[in-house]
Structure 1
Amino acid sequence: MTKADVVSEIVKNTGIDKATVLKTVESFMEVVKDSLGKNENVYLRGFGSFIVKTRAQKTARNISKNTTIIIPAHNIPAFKVSKAFKI
């Protein structure tokens, strides 16, 4: 399901015009993205949590040059499903 499909479903279920729904969905995604960029988690009760995880530093290999490289520790976004949402 794409963002357009989600917007269409919300329009069909609520009767709100498509432009308003699209702006709302895009605004929600922007707020989540900005919050995760600031290392703040977003909790949606009954749905799940958008969280920031820290990946530890690790050693990797460049097979083509036969060398080892160090990948520094970095943050990644993740989604954790709530217990009520699990199927």
Structure 2
Amino acid sequence: MNKHELIRIAAKKSGVSQKTAGIVVSSILETILESLRNDEAVSMLNFGKFSIKKYDARNGYNVATKKIMTIPEKKVVRFKIAKGTGLK
């Protein structure tokens, strides 16, 4: 499912126009991204939890050049599904 399909289904289920549903869906997604950018977890009951996992910088090995290189630190978005959703 992509964003447009989500908007269409949300509009149909809620009885509002696709334009209104699009504004709501976009606002929700923007709010989630904003929270994650601020290193804040986002938990939704009966859905799941979005959080940020930080990886420290570390040394790695480049097989092609056979040299040790530094892998920079990074942040990765993680999602853990809520219990009771029927998914694992």
* 2:9 paired residue number: 9
Q: Distance in 2 between matches of 1:59 and 1:40?
A: 28
Give, in whole Å, the separation in 2 of the partners of 1:39 and 1:75. 9
- Provide structure 2 residue ranges, at least 5 long, that are not aligned to the other structure: none
CA RMSD between the two structures: 1.5
**Moved >2 Å (runs of 4+):** 56-66
Instruction: Give the number of aligned pairs.
Output: 87
The TM-score normalised by the length of structure 1 is 0.87
Gaps of 5+ in 1: none
Alignment of 1:49-68 (within 5 A): 49-68=49-68
Aligned sequence identity (%): 25
Instruction: State the TM-score, normalizing by the size of structure 2.
Output: 0.86
How many Å apart are 1:73 and its aligned residue? Answer: 2.8
1:1-87 maps to which residues of 2 (within 5 A)?
1-87=1-87
Structure 2: how far apart are the matches of 1:76 and 1:26?
21
